[in-house]
Amino acid sequence: MIAYTRTPRPDAARELGVELVDLPMLLAESDAVTLHVPLESSTRHLIGEPELRAMKSSAILINTARGAVVNQEAMIRAINEEWIAGVALDVFDIEPLPEDNPLRALDRTRVLMTPHSMSNTPAGRRGTQREVVDKILNAANGTRPRTAVNPQAWA
C-alpha cells in the first residue's frame, strides 16, 4: 500500500506497512485513490484535470473528504472521456446534491454516489449525543468549550 500525506509520519507509516510517496507517484501507481483531507485553501481542487489525467485509466477515485477537494468539472470530463474507470462519492460541492447536477447524468456503471452519513448509526448518534451533553455540562461548570464556534462569546 502506498500513501501521500502533507504531514508525513514515517514511523507510523512503517508500522502500518505503508510506503510514503509523493502525490504524482501515488496518482500514477494506484488502482484506487481515496481522499481523506479537510477542505482548506490548500486542498480546494487538490484533484483537478492534471491529477485525474495522471491516474491509470483503470483507476477509481473515492472522495469521502469534502466535495470541493475534487474539481467537479474535471471529474465529470474524466468519467465522460474515460481518463479513469470510475468514481465513488459521498460528498459534493453542494449538499444535498441538486436534482439538476451534471453528476446525476453520468454513466451509473462507473459512478457510485451515496449521502455523506458516516456517523448515522446508533453508535454514532449516541457518541454525538454524549459529546453534546458533556460540552453543555462543562460550560455550565465554567469550563470554556474547546470547540466553540464563537469563542468571543465566552467572555
**Bridge partners of 35?**
63
Rounded CA separation 35/148 (Å): 27
Q: Who contacts 79 (Cβ-Cβ below 8 Å, separation ≥6)?
A: 86, 87, 106, 107, 110, 111
User: In the annotation, is 95 catalytic?
Assistant: yes
* Residue in the block written with cell 454516489: 113
User: In the annotation, is 130 catalytic?
Assistant: no
Annotate 101-131 with b (16+ C-beta within 10 A) or e (fewer).
bebeebeeeebebeebeeeeeeeeeeeeeee
Single out the catalytic residue among 95, 104, 130, 131: 95
User: In the annotation, is 144 catalytic?
Assistant: no
DSSP helix, strand, coil percent of the chain (3-state; round to 5) = 40, 15, 50
Residues catalogued as catalytic: 66, 95, 116
